[in-house]
Chains A and B, each alone.
Chain A
């Protein structure tokens, strides 16, 4: 009887883990679960639609990744893309951040090596969730470094599902930020580790982390400005140490040299104003080290004080003069508009309309914060309190990171992404510290009871127990209740995050979905329909003009040359397109012909109620076009400052090219029950000009829900070509030309006559006059031309010399 249970219990005892091992097992299993959770919560859109690339920018990244897999790294690095920004082209190798593409291709090659036959598109779609899972691991180690392993675990959990991060790293969002946030957090973690330990190996790792960040995203400027600010704060609070010296110097020098390998960055680390802070702090660190060494050598404190004052004055003076010389001579360029608008948020609104027009560059309202952070907004100030209570090099860093990134997140919505890791880490500190306090309260009673029982003497045990029993149950129950409350709050956070991910951030943007009348999901796949039509039904060398939003998608999916795309590097080119879209058709066709365009593409949401269409973006086209060409004036398109498309709209609005292209044939369309034909569902009004006629363009393709409309540019009319030959008079053509352009009564004088002038170009003035008279008298094709044409007026319009008044003979 005793042997069987004894051997079983012995067996169990041999399996029983010590506390340390139990703890390790719990930690590892939690991290594994969090890793998997971070990956699968980002897969909503893949499960609902299909595995495809979302939005606009990722299509460019995907196209370059395809090019990289097909042609290898050197061709990719030296690639000149002639299919975008026609006729300028784009030096792709020198104007992109290659980290994302190289990473995806590396993963692809590894998988292929292991004989997994995946398509590069699947790898691209799933790169961001994979790196999000890696970020949770880095967050765990970072939390462990700053506070303790409990905080690290909570940080990993919080960052795995935080909507602020998920918004830019869902499956399909193949964009720089997906990889860059991992690189950012990794660089910061390794740098803090280097400052804590003073080890050269960790500093080297931080330099390489910085290099990866520079190769991945333009936001590396945040790192290169936060770290010197952090070092400055450490110096001011008297925390200078050898560890800091080693870490910072190693990271700066090696990081700078590595960053210069990226062509897009080039020599900016020594030439751009945005990178001067880190250089200044570098020199300041050398001054500090020098002063420390002198202090060590000198035994006389008075001497040292004097020496200190001289050195500091000289150093500051020399630094200031050097900076001043650099800026005045133009070697050090000032802050670029993109980053300057973060320091002065009103700058972009007044000076750079392209930056101001992007919706994700708008400042942040409270509801965006709540949407993306939820509970963390409460925990962030509490976490800051805990950090201020226990100040160390690492907590000072995380406080600075949190504060600076929250400020930038307040300035621009898309920068909530950069603030998310800091907010998650600081909130994790708050959660961990609070839970620790509460559990200490819970466990304190047990410990006292245990020590009481080991004492052995019954009297003391009962008396001590009686003393403590008065307050303990109340405190213990209170602690349990508070723990349940904390658990409830965190579970609400999880529910919120999952809901937000599912409803708001898992939309591929290229495929639109709506709820039908019976609650079923209706899918609009118009964009891809249009791009594939372009790919299959237009000549290979066709050039497509559209607003810059769609450029990347047209090149990637339609495989045709575009005029402007999302890179927006050339403002004048974009303004030219904007001018063409906002001019009358006759002026626009000249710009269109000069750019060699074959097809024009517009996006129209009037039938479906899709509100991000070109009519809603039109005012930005006017503003950007008007910024470069003053003939385009925004008030021309507004009525009493209001933007309208119905009967009361401005006449220039009703006749501009964008209006015509969007509303061509729309006047006959019944869009909603009970509303008149031509009812625009996106604007909620009946359109003003229903009878749209196009002269130089013809409709080529409209998608099934009228979202994308493509127009073909008609070739110019046949005319007699008089290059270098003596002119011949063709009264028939001249008469047709005059009549078609409505020139029957030239006395009106406001219709353009220039095109007809080419018909009498080669003729001398008298012959020109005779030709005109013949045309007038010819009465061809039943055209009735008023004999009262003042020929001199017409000839003057064609810039001919008129000696006397010509009158046509009978």
Chain B
């Protein structure tokens, strides 16, 4: 792979060229003449850090985080700037009660309701992932059982909560 090989071999080529005195690199030849014919290059023990690709599961966890942000309506929060939680006044007592779910529209939310729903979605996804991990053959049985129980309960909780949220938000849901 071009850049990886490039960075790893840079140090090796510099060391080798010092001894072999042969290089096709024009920049190297220029540098050999202009400052470094009269300047002495210091002896350093620095190494160019090698950049390697992250593992697939690292990328997956980053992706999950991004998914959480998108699905909880982060862009909506940034642009429309709704309040964190709504409030309504009780007509009888005059006390101010908080309202968690923005009523009346499908495409509108308060910040907290968005984040909690997003969390539920991600929880459901993780539940299914745990179920798959539970069916992996190379683990101890107790670990598999605990994964399975955690997975099933995550999915059930996530589904029940999400259905509850949508029923609160849209009063005429499934009627």
Contacts and interface: CB of A to CB of B under 8 A. Distances in A.
B71 interface: yes
B78 A345 contact: yes
A366 B117 contact: yes
B87 interface: no
A530 B36 CA distance: 86
Contact of B125 (A379, A389, A496, A499): A379
B135 A388 contact: no
Interface string A62-102: 00000000000000000000000000000000000000000
A308 B148 contact: no
Contacts of B135: 437-438, 441
A236 B4 CA distance: 10
B107 A367 contact: yes
A363 B125 contact: no
B155 A385 contact: no
A283 B174 CA distance: 54
Given A363-B80, A367-B106, A309 B25 contact: yes
Contacts of B155: 378, 485
A368 B106 contact: yes
B128 to A, nearest CB: 4
Nearest to A479: B135
Contact of A406 (B70, B128, B170): B70
Interface string B48-74: 000001001101100110110011111
B169 A367 contact: yes
Contacts of A504: 106
Contacts of A382: 125, 128-129, 132
A782 B129 CA distance: 92
A787 to B, nearest CB: 61
Contacts of A303: 24
Contact of B75 (A238, A364, A434): A364
Interface string A280-316: 0000000010010000000000110111111010000
A521 to B, nearest CB: 15
B117 A291 contact: no
Interface in B19-36: 23-26
Interface stretch (A181-189, A246-254, A369-377): A369-377
Contacts of A430: 128
Interface size class of B (residues with CB under 8 A): 35 or more
Contacts of A403: 63, 66-67
A496 B174 contact: yes
Contacts of B10: 309
A385 B132 contact: yes
A400 B103 CA distance: 35
B106 A371 contact: yes
Interface string B104-130: 001111000110011001101111110
B36 to A, nearest CB: 18
B57 A388 contact: yes
Main secondary structure of the interface of A (DSSP, over half): helix
Contacts of B63: 384, 388, 399, 403
B11 to A, nearest CB: 11
A388 B107 contact: no
B46 interface: no
> Which of A306, A378, A384, A410 has most B Cβ within 10 Å?
A378
Given A366-B118, A368-B107, A378-B159, A384 B5 contact: no
B60 A236 contact: no
Given A366-B72, A368-B106, A403-B63, A381 B166 contact: no
B143 interface: no
B121 A312 contact: no
A363 B53 contact: no
B84 to A, nearest CB: 14
12 contacts: A238-B1, A302-B13, A307-B24, A367-B109, A367-B166, A371-B166, A377-B71, A382-B132, A385-B60, A388-B59, A407-B70, A430-B128
Interface of B: 1-3, 5-6, 9-10, 13, 16, 23-26, 53, 56-57, 59-60, 63-64, 66-67, 70-76, 78-80, 106-109, 113-114, 117-118, 121-122, 124-129, 131-132, 135, 148, 152, 155, 158-159, 162, 165-166, 169-170, 172-174
Interface of A: 236-238, 288, 291, 302-303, 305-310, 312, 345-346, 349, 362-371, 375, 377-382, 384-386, 388-389, 391, 399, 403, 406-407, 409-411, 413, 430, 433-434, 437-438, 441, 478, 482, 485, 489, 495-496, 499, 503-504
